[in-house]
Structure 1
Protein backbone atom coordinates (compact mmCIF):
# COMPACT_ATOMS: atom_id res chain seq x y z
CA UNK A 1 0.00 0.00 0.00
CA UNK A 2 1.35 3.40 -0.94
CA UNK A 3 1.65 5.95 1.84
CA UNK A 4 -0.65 8.93 2.28
CA UNK A 5 0.67 12.48 2.18
CA UNK A 6 0.64 12.71 5.99
CA UNK A 7 2.59 9.45 6.34
CA UNK A 8 5.16 10.49 3.73
CA UNK A 9 5.72 13.80 5.54
CA UNK A 10 5.93 12.10 8.95
CA UNK A 11 8.84 9.95 7.73
CA UNK A 12 10.68 12.80 5.99
CA UNK A 13 13.57 14.86 7.37
CA UNK A 14 14.11 18.19 5.58
CA UNK A 15 17.77 19.04 4.92
CA UNK A 16 17.59 22.83 5.16
CA UNK A 17 15.66 25.50 7.01
CA UNK A 18 14.03 26.58 3.73
CA UNK A 19 12.91 23.03 3.05
CA UNK A 20 11.60 22.68 6.62
CA UNK A 21 9.52 25.83 6.03
CA UNK A 22 8.15 24.32 2.80
CA UNK A 23 7.26 21.07 4.62
CA UNK A 24 5.46 23.13 7.28
CA UNK A 25 3.45 24.88 4.55
CA UNK A 26 2.43 21.49 3.15
CA UNK A 27 1.42 20.29 6.63
CA UNK A 28 -0.74 23.41 6.99
CA UNK A 29 -2.82 22.15 4.05
CA UNK A 30 -3.90 19.12 6.12
CA UNK A 31 -6.53 17.90 7.05
CA UNK A 32 -8.33 19.56 4.12
CA UNK A 33 -7.80 18.59 0.48
CA UNK A 34 -4.13 19.46 -0.11
CA UNK A 35 -4.42 18.40 -3.77
CA UNK A 36 -7.24 20.85 -4.62
CA UNK A 37 -6.34 23.09 -7.53
CA UNK A 38 -8.86 25.62 -6.20
CA UNK A 39 -6.35 26.85 -3.61
CA UNK A 40 -3.40 29.16 -4.37
CA UNK A 41 -1.03 26.56 -2.85
CA UNK A 42 -1.67 22.89 -3.55
CA UNK A 43 0.29 19.64 -3.55
CA UNK A 44 1.81 18.09 -6.65
CA UNK A 45 4.10 15.08 -6.98
CA UNK A 46 6.99 14.65 -9.36
CA UNK A 47 10.05 12.54 -10.01
CA UNK A 48 13.49 12.56 -11.47
CA UNK A 49 13.58 9.54 -13.78
CA UNK A 50 16.97 7.83 -13.56
CA UNK A 51 18.77 5.11 -15.48
CA UNK A 52 21.18 3.83 -12.79
CA UNK A 53 23.55 1.88 -15.10
CA UNK A 54 24.42 5.04 -17.05
CA UNK A 55 23.88 7.49 -14.16
CA UNK A 56 21.67 9.64 -16.37
CA UNK A 57 18.45 11.48 -15.60
CA UNK A 58 15.52 12.31 -17.87
CA UNK A 59 14.23 15.87 -18.06
CA UNK A 60 11.12 17.11 -19.86
CA UNK A 61 10.60 20.46 -21.57
CA UNK A 62 7.68 22.29 -19.93
CA UNK A 63 6.51 24.96 -22.34
CA UNK A 64 4.35 26.80 -19.78
CA UNK A 65 7.29 27.18 -17.41
CA UNK A 66 9.75 27.58 -20.31
CA UNK A 67 12.18 25.23 -18.59
CA UNK A 68 13.59 21.72 -18.48
CA UNK A 69 12.04 20.07 -15.43
CA UNK A 70 11.35 16.71 -13.86
CA UNK A 71 8.16 14.82 -14.75
CA UNK A 72 5.13 15.15 -12.53
CA UNK A 73 1.97 17.02 -11.82
CA UNK A 74 -1.39 17.14 -10.11
CA UNK A 75 -3.21 14.32 -8.41
CA UNK A 76 -6.33 13.07 -10.14
CA UNK A 77 -9.61 13.02 -8.18
CA UNK A 78 -9.42 10.31 -5.53
CA UNK A 79 -5.61 10.07 -5.55
CA UNK A 80 -3.98 10.69 -2.19
CA UNK A 81 -0.62 8.87 -2.30
CA UNK A 82 2.15 11.17 -3.58
CA UNK A 83 4.30 8.33 -4.92
CA UNK A 84 1.34 6.94 -6.91
CA UNK A 85 0.81 10.38 -8.48
CA UNK A 86 4.52 10.64 -9.38
CA UNK A 87 4.45 7.14 -10.93
CA UNK A 88 1.32 7.84 -12.97
CA UNK A 89 2.57 11.22 -14.16
CA UNK A 90 5.99 9.76 -14.98
CA UNK A 91 4.47 7.06 -17.14
CA UNK A 92 2.09 9.49 -18.87
CA UNK A 93 4.82 12.03 -19.64
CA UNK A 94 7.53 9.59 -20.77
CA UNK A 95 5.70 6.52 -22.10
CA UNK A 96 7.95 4.38 -19.88
CA UNK A 97 5.86 1.50 -18.54
CA UNK A 98 8.60 0.02 -16.35
CA UNK A 99 9.10 2.91 -13.90
CA UNK A 100 9.75 1.80 -10.33
CA UNK A 101 10.47 3.74 -7.13
CA UNK A 102 14.24 4.06 -6.74
CA UNK A 103 16.12 3.19 -4.70
CA UNK A 104 13.34 2.57 -2.19
CA UNK A 105 10.42 4.95 -2.78
CA UNK A 106 11.41 7.50 -0.15
CA UNK A 107 10.73 11.17 -0.62
CA UNK A 108 13.76 12.91 -2.10
CA UNK A 109 12.90 16.60 -1.77
CA UNK A 110 10.04 18.98 -0.91
CA UNK A 111 9.90 22.36 -2.63
CA UNK A 112 7.24 25.05 -2.90
CA UNK A 113 7.57 26.54 -6.37
CA UNK A 114 5.81 29.42 -8.16
CA UNK A 115 3.73 28.61 -11.25
CA UNK A 116 3.17 31.10 -14.05
CA UNK A 117 -0.40 32.10 -14.87
CA UNK A 118 -2.11 30.65 -17.92
CA UNK A 119 -5.23 31.46 -19.89
CA UNK A 120 -7.24 29.32 -17.45
CA UNK A 121 -5.37 29.72 -14.13
CA UNK A 122 -3.92 32.60 -12.14
CA UNK A 123 -0.38 32.45 -10.83
CA UNK A 124 -0.18 30.03 -7.92
CA UNK A 125 2.23 27.73 -6.07
CA UNK A 126 2.88 24.00 -6.11
CA UNK A 127 4.00 22.23 -2.96
CA UNK A 128 5.94 19.63 -4.92
CA UNK A 129 6.89 16.28 -3.39
CA UNK A 130 9.77 14.85 -5.39
CA UNK A 131 10.83 11.22 -5.77
CA UNK A 132 13.26 9.22 -7.91
CA UNK A 133 11.95 6.62 -10.35
CA UNK A 134 14.12 4.22 -12.34
CA UNK A 135 13.74 2.66 -15.76
CA UNK A 136 15.61 -0.24 -17.34
CA UNK A 137 14.53 0.88 -20.84
CA UNK A 138 15.72 4.46 -21.36
CA UNK A 139 15.49 4.22 -25.16
CA UNK A 140 11.74 3.58 -24.86
CA UNK A 141 11.08 7.11 -23.54
CA UNK A 142 8.69 9.05 -25.77
CA UNK A 143 7.24 12.55 -25.31
CA UNK A 144 3.54 12.59 -24.44
CA UNK A 145 2.88 15.34 -26.98
CA UNK A 146 4.69 17.57 -29.46
CA UNK A 147 6.72 20.24 -27.71
CA UNK A 148 7.20 18.17 -24.53
CA UNK A 149 10.66 17.00 -25.54
CA UNK A 150 12.58 14.56 -23.37
CA UNK A 151 16.34 14.60 -22.85
CA UNK A 152 18.64 12.11 -21.08
CA UNK A 153 21.49 13.92 -19.33
CA UNK A 154 24.31 13.37 -16.89
CA UNK A 155 23.72 14.93 -13.47
CA UNK A 156 26.20 17.78 -14.15
CA UNK A 157 24.58 18.55 -17.53
CA UNK A 158 21.09 18.36 -16.04
CA UNK A 159 22.08 20.72 -13.23
CA UNK A 160 23.58 23.11 -15.77
CA UNK A 161 20.37 23.39 -17.83
CA UNK A 162 18.15 23.43 -14.72
CA UNK A 163 19.89 26.56 -13.50
CA UNK A 164 19.73 27.90 -9.98
CA UNK A 165 16.37 26.67 -8.79
CA UNK A 166 15.00 23.94 -6.59
CA UNK A 167 15.41 21.34 -9.34
CA UNK A 168 19.17 21.81 -9.03
CA UNK A 169 18.94 20.64 -5.41
CA UNK A 170 16.71 17.69 -6.39
CA UNK A 171 19.22 16.68 -9.04
CA UNK A 172 22.11 16.96 -6.56
CA UNK A 173 20.26 14.57 -4.24
CA UNK A 174 19.59 12.16 -7.12
CA UNK A 175 23.29 12.38 -7.97
CA UNK A 176 24.20 11.36 -4.42
CA UNK A 177 22.06 8.23 -4.84
CA UNK A 178 23.56 7.43 -8.25
CA UNK A 179 27.17 7.82 -7.02
Structure 2
Protein backbone atom coordinates (compact mmCIF):
# COMPACT_ATOMS: atom_id res chain seq x y z
CA UNK A 1 0.00 0.00 0.00
CA UNK A 2 1.03 3.57 -0.64
CA UNK A 3 -0.65 6.31 1.39
CA UNK A 4 -3.51 3.92 2.17
CA UNK A 5 -4.27 3.31 -1.52
CA UNK A 6 -3.39 0.21 -3.54
CA UNK A 7 -0.37 0.72 -5.77
CA UNK A 8 -1.02 0.73 -9.51
CA UNK A 9 0.68 -2.68 -9.64
CA UNK A 10 -1.53 -4.11 -6.90
CA UNK A 11 -4.62 -2.77 -8.68
CA UNK A 12 -3.51 -4.33 -11.98
CA UNK A 13 -2.85 -7.68 -10.31
CA UNK A 14 -6.20 -7.60 -8.49
CA UNK A 15 -8.00 -7.39 -11.84
CA UNK A 16 -5.71 -9.85 -13.64
CA UNK A 17 -6.65 -13.47 -14.32
CA UNK A 18 -3.66 -15.78 -14.91
CA UNK A 19 -4.12 -18.36 -17.66
CA UNK A 20 -1.89 -21.10 -16.26
CA UNK A 21 -0.79 -22.45 -12.88
CA UNK A 22 2.76 -21.24 -13.59
CA UNK A 23 1.49 -17.75 -14.33
CA UNK A 24 -0.62 -17.80 -11.13
CA UNK A 25 2.53 -18.66 -9.17
CA UNK A 26 4.36 -15.76 -10.84
CA UNK A 27 1.49 -13.40 -9.97
CA UNK A 28 1.72 -14.51 -6.33
CA UNK A 29 5.46 -13.77 -6.32
CA UNK A 30 4.84 -10.29 -7.78
CA UNK A 31 2.17 -9.61 -5.15
CA UNK A 32 4.70 -10.49 -2.43
CA UNK A 33 7.27 -8.08 -3.89
CA UNK A 34 4.66 -5.32 -4.09
CA UNK A 35 3.59 -5.91 -0.48
CA UNK A 36 7.21 -5.74 0.73
CA UNK A 37 7.92 -2.18 -0.43
CA UNK A 38 9.31 -0.66 -3.60
CA UNK A 39 8.77 -3.36 -6.26
CA UNK A 40 10.82 -1.40 -8.84
CA UNK A 41 14.02 -1.39 -6.71
CA UNK A 42 16.79 -2.87 -8.81
CA UNK A 43 18.61 -3.95 -5.64
CA UNK A 44 15.98 -6.64 -5.03
CA UNK A 45 16.76 -10.12 -6.39
CA UNK A 46 13.24 -10.05 -7.88
CA UNK A 47 11.98 -6.66 -9.06
CA UNK A 48 9.25 -5.43 -11.38
CA UNK A 49 9.80 -4.47 -15.01
CA UNK A 50 7.27 -3.50 -17.66
CA UNK A 51 7.33 -4.44 -21.32
CA UNK A 52 5.16 -4.57 -24.41
CA UNK A 53 4.84 -6.02 -27.83
CA UNK A 54 4.46 -3.24 -30.36
CA UNK A 55 1.95 -4.08 -33.09
CA UNK A 56 0.83 -2.53 -36.34
CA UNK A 57 -2.80 -3.67 -36.35
CA UNK A 58 -3.54 -3.06 -40.08
CA UNK A 59 -0.80 -5.50 -41.13
CA UNK A 60 -0.81 -7.78 -38.07
CA UNK A 61 2.95 -7.36 -37.69
CA UNK A 62 4.83 -7.17 -34.40
CA UNK A 63 8.10 -5.43 -33.60
CA UNK A 64 10.92 -7.37 -31.95
CA UNK A 65 14.14 -5.92 -30.55
CA UNK A 66 17.52 -7.64 -30.38
CA UNK A 67 18.75 -7.71 -26.78
CA UNK A 68 22.50 -8.25 -26.90
CA UNK A 69 22.86 -9.14 -23.21
CA UNK A 70 20.21 -11.88 -23.45
CA UNK A 71 21.28 -12.74 -26.98
CA UNK A 72 17.64 -12.99 -28.00
CA UNK A 73 14.85 -11.28 -29.91
CA UNK A 74 12.42 -9.93 -27.33
CA UNK A 75 9.69 -7.35 -26.81
CA UNK A 76 10.56 -3.79 -25.79
CA UNK A 77 10.58 -2.80 -22.14
CA UNK A 78 12.62 -2.27 -19.04
CA UNK A 79 13.00 -0.93 -15.54
CA UNK A 80 11.06 1.80 -13.83
CA UNK A 81 12.84 5.06 -13.08
CA UNK A 82 12.82 6.61 -9.60
CA UNK A 83 9.30 7.80 -8.86
CA UNK A 84 7.63 5.53 -11.41
CA UNK A 85 4.53 3.75 -10.16
CA UNK A 86 2.44 2.89 -13.22
CA UNK A 87 3.71 -0.11 -15.23
CA UNK A 88 1.92 0.93 -18.43
CA UNK A 89 3.68 4.33 -18.30
CA UNK A 90 7.02 2.52 -17.99
CA UNK A 91 6.18 0.31 -21.00
CA UNK A 92 5.18 3.37 -23.05
CA UNK A 93 8.35 5.28 -22.12
CA UNK A 94 10.60 2.31 -22.82
CA UNK A 95 8.78 1.72 -26.11
CA UNK A 96 9.38 5.28 -27.26
CA UNK A 97 13.03 5.19 -26.18
CA UNK A 98 13.77 1.81 -27.76
CA UNK A 99 11.93 2.32 -31.05
CA UNK A 100 11.84 6.07 -31.68
CA UNK A 101 8.08 5.74 -32.27
CA UNK A 102 6.35 8.75 -30.74
CA UNK A 103 2.80 7.64 -31.58
CA UNK A 104 2.67 4.52 -29.39
CA UNK A 105 -0.65 3.92 -27.64
CA UNK A 106 -2.02 1.10 -25.54
CA UNK A 107 -3.85 -1.34 -27.79
CA UNK A 108 -6.64 -2.16 -27.83
CA UNK A 109 -6.57 -0.78 -24.28
CA UNK A 110 -4.23 -0.61 -21.26
CA UNK A 111 -5.07 -4.10 -19.99
CA UNK A 112 -2.28 -6.14 -18.44
CA UNK A 113 -1.85 -9.07 -20.87
CA UNK A 114 0.76 -11.32 -19.23
CA UNK A 115 2.73 -11.65 -15.99
CA UNK A 116 5.93 -13.67 -16.05
CA UNK A 117 9.01 -13.98 -13.84
CA UNK A 118 12.12 -14.33 -15.99
CA UNK A 119 15.71 -15.06 -14.95
CA UNK A 120 18.38 -12.51 -15.87
CA UNK A 121 22.01 -13.59 -16.10
CA UNK A 122 24.67 -11.71 -14.17
CA UNK A 123 26.11 -8.71 -15.95
CA UNK A 124 29.28 -6.69 -15.55
CA UNK A 125 27.76 -4.58 -12.77
CA UNK A 126 25.00 -6.73 -11.28
CA UNK A 127 24.45 -10.27 -10.04
CA UNK A 128 22.02 -12.71 -11.56
CA UNK A 129 18.45 -11.78 -10.61
CA UNK A 130 14.85 -12.05 -11.79
CA UNK A 131 12.43 -9.68 -13.48
CA UNK A 132 8.75 -9.77 -12.61
CA UNK A 133 7.68 -8.60 -16.06
CA UNK A 134 4.26 -7.00 -16.51
CA UNK A 135 3.37 -7.11 -20.22
CA UNK A 136 1.13 -4.90 -22.34
CA UNK A 137 0.40 -4.36 -26.03
CA UNK A 138 1.19 -1.07 -27.76
CA UNK A 139 0.31 -0.01 -31.29
CA UNK A 140 1.77 2.37 -33.83
CA UNK A 141 0.32 3.80 -37.01
CA UNK A 142 3.80 4.62 -38.38
CA UNK A 143 5.82 1.38 -38.40
CA UNK A 144 8.20 2.74 -41.04
CA UNK A 145 9.47 5.30 -38.50
CA UNK A 146 10.85 2.69 -36.08
CA UNK A 147 14.54 3.29 -35.38
CA UNK A 148 16.78 1.36 -32.96
CA UNK A 149 18.05 3.30 -29.95
CA UNK A 150 21.61 2.11 -30.71
CA UNK A 151 23.37 0.00 -33.35
CA UNK A 152 23.32 -3.17 -31.24
CA UNK A 153 19.54 -3.01 -30.64
CA UNK A 154 18.28 -3.99 -34.09
CA UNK A 155 14.53 -3.86 -34.67
CA UNK A 156 12.51 -6.21 -36.90
CA UNK A 157 8.88 -6.08 -38.02
CA UNK A 158 7.61 -9.63 -38.38
CA UNK A 159 4.37 -11.46 -38.96
CA UNK A 160 3.17 -13.41 -35.92
CA UNK A 161 4.31 -16.66 -37.54
CA UNK A 162 7.76 -15.21 -38.27
CA UNK A 163 8.01 -13.83 -34.74
CA UNK A 164 7.00 -17.18 -33.27
CA UNK A 165 9.78 -18.87 -35.27
CA UNK A 166 12.31 -16.18 -34.27
CA UNK A 167 11.88 -15.99 -30.50
CA UNK A 168 13.46 -18.56 -28.20
CA UNK A 169 11.56 -17.90 -24.96
CA UNK A 170 8.45 -20.05 -24.38
CA UNK A 171 6.81 -17.26 -22.35
CA UNK A 172 7.21 -14.86 -25.28
CA UNK A 173 5.74 -17.43 -27.68
CA UNK A 174 2.75 -17.59 -25.34
CA UNK A 175 2.53 -13.80 -25.33
CA UNK A 176 2.63 -13.75 -29.14
CA UNK A 177 -0.33 -16.16 -29.09
CA UNK A 178 -2.24 -13.80 -26.81
CA UNK A 179 -1.48 -10.88 -29.14
CA UNK A 180 -2.64 -13.01 -32.07
CA UNK A 181 -6.00 -13.49 -30.32
CA UNK A 182 -6.35 -9.70 -30.07
CA UNK A 183 -5.38 -9.17 -33.70
CA UNK A 184 -7.90 -11.83 -34.79
CA UNK A 185 -10.65 -9.78 -33.11
CA UNK A 186 -9.65 -6.63 -34.99
CA UNK A 187 -11.93 -5.76 -37.94
Q: Structure 1-normalised TM-score?
A: 0.97
Aligned to 1:6: 10
Aligned to 1:169: 174
Aligned to 1:144: 149
| Alignment match of 2:26 (pick from 22, 27, 44) | 22
Aligned to 1:50: 55
- The Cα shift of 1:116 comes to 1.1
The DSSP-based 3-state class of the residue aligned with 1:128 is strand
Structure 1 gaps, min length 5: none
- The Cα shift of 1:99 comes to 0.2
Q: Structure 2-normalised TM-score?
A: 0.93
- The Cα shift of 1:164 comes to 4.4
Does 1:38 find its partner at 2:31?
no
- The Cα shift of 1:71 comes to 0.1
The DSSP-based 3-state class of the residue aligned with 1:125 is strand
> Radius of gyration: which is bigger?
2
Separation (CA, whole Å) in 1 of partners of 2:172 and 2:128: 19
1:11-65 per-position Cα deviation (integer Å, ceiling 9, x unaligned): 1100000000000000001230111000110000000000000000000000000
Separation (CA, whole Å) in 1 of partners of 2:103 and 2:178: 22
1:86-117 per-position Cα deviation (integer Å, ceiling 9, x unaligned): 00000000000000000011011000000111
Aligned to 2:4: none
The DSSP-based 3-state class of the residue aligned with 1:142 is coil
Separation (CA, whole Å) in 1 of partners of 2:62 and 2:161: 10
Is contact 2:64-2:156 (8 Å) kept? yes
Is contact 2:72-2:168 (8 Å) kept? no
Q: Give the alignment's Cα RMSD to 1 decimal.
A: 0.9
Aligned to 1:76: 81
The DSSP-based 3-state class of the residue aligned with 1:64 is coil
